[in-house]
Amino acid sequence: MRELSGGRGCFQDNILKLIAESRIIPIVDAVKPDQPERLVELYYGAGFRTLEMKMNSGYMEAFVNIIRRDHPDVRLLAGTCRSPMDIRRASYLGMDIMISPVFDPGLIEYACLHNIPYIPAVRNAGMLGQVMTLGYSVIKFYPAEQEGGAPLIGGFYPEYDVRFMASGGITLDRIPGYLALDNVAAVCTSHIVSPRLMLDDNWTEIEERVKQAEKLLKECKNV
């Protein structure tokens, strides 16, 4: 695991800095062995320097190896960490930040005991209240669209002094609504390139959707 500058441990403030600078974080996956490299090049060419890999993806290690070989400036988030084993594996592979889709005190304790950068998830105000007592500066909100979307997250501000990484069902057209909120640091989405597009090898549409995401990324960073 690479050292994140400016602090150490699972609560470090520079995790928020990295997430907030990223703004839009694609969740990448593949269904065929020749797809990871091409997809990475598309996203890199479009200006994306933070990507999330699912720990339960069959091509996760291929993505990691390609990025570390060709684009070491890209930060990698290990998504779908559901167990200490997932966190250990992601750390061994050199992932930068581990992320869970759930609120699990056991995983929070494990990450902190082993000084591993980690972001837990919440899905409602009750969970948020518990996590806030632990000192996190950025928290994942998942599944965002299912639980109420941008209006719900926006309603947490300014009562809760935390910023969110919103994820779950967020399509391209809904990204600006989230990023307009003061308490949303970034949006993670798997809806730029869908599994169906990958299954069909529809690279014409894949390239067009990455271009759309590139335009959004430039717009939100110029605000």
Output the domain CATH number for residue 85.
3.20.20.70
pLDDT at 1: 47
pLDDT in tens, 177-186: 999 999 999 9
Residue type, 189: T
Q: Does residue 126 contact residue 150 with C-beta atoms inside 8 Å?
A: no
Distance CA 134, CA 132 (A): 5
Q: Assess if residue 46 is contained within a domain.
A: yes
In a domain? residue 1:
no
Residue 116 maps to a domain: yes
Residue 81 makes CB contacts below 8 A (sequence gap 6+) with 55, 87, 90, 98, 99, 100, 107, 118
Please report the pLDDT score of residue 134 as a whole number.
87
* 3 part of a folded domain: no
Nearest CA among 20, 25, 13, 85 for reference residue 56: 85
pLDDT of residue 7: 43
- Beta strand 50-54 with 121-122: parallel, antiparallel or unpaired? unpaired
169: left (phi over 0), alpha (psi -120 to 50) or beta: left
Domain count for the chain: 1
Domain that holds residue 172: 13-218
Which whole-number Å values give the CA distances from 84 to 9, 168, 175, 215, in the listed order?
16, 23, 31, 37
pLDDT at 163: 95
2 assigned to some structural domain:
no
What element of type H or E holds 152? helix 149-154
Look at residue 221 in the predicted model and tell me its pLDDT.
79
Q: How far is CA 8 from CA 13, 57, 186, 222, in A?
A: 9, 28, 21, 30
Could you tell me how far CA 10 lies from the centroid of its own chain? 15
Tell me whether residue 160 is exposed, middle or buried, using C-beta atoms within 10 angstroms of its C-beta: 0 to 12, 13 to 18, 19 or more.
middle
Give the single-character DSSP code of 155. Answer: T
Q: Cβ(68)–Cβ(94) under 8 Å?
A: yes
Q: What is the 3-state secondary structure (H, E, C) of 22-82?
A: HCEEEEECCCCCCHHHHHHHHHHHCCCCEEEEECCCCCHHHHHHHHHHHCCCCEEEEECCC
Residue spans of the chain under pLDDT 70: 1-13, 223
Helix (H, G, I), strand (E, B) or coil at 124: coil
Q: Is residue 4 part of a domain?
A: no
**What is residue 12's predicted lDDT score, i.e. its pLDDT?**
67
Torsion angle, alpha carbons of 35, 26, 217, 9, to 10: -130
Query: For residue 223, is it within any domain?
Result: no
Whether 35 is covered by a domain: the verdict is yes
- Per the document, the length of the chain is 223
- Taking the C-alpha atoms of residue 78 and residue 170, their distance in angstroms, rounded to an integer, is 19
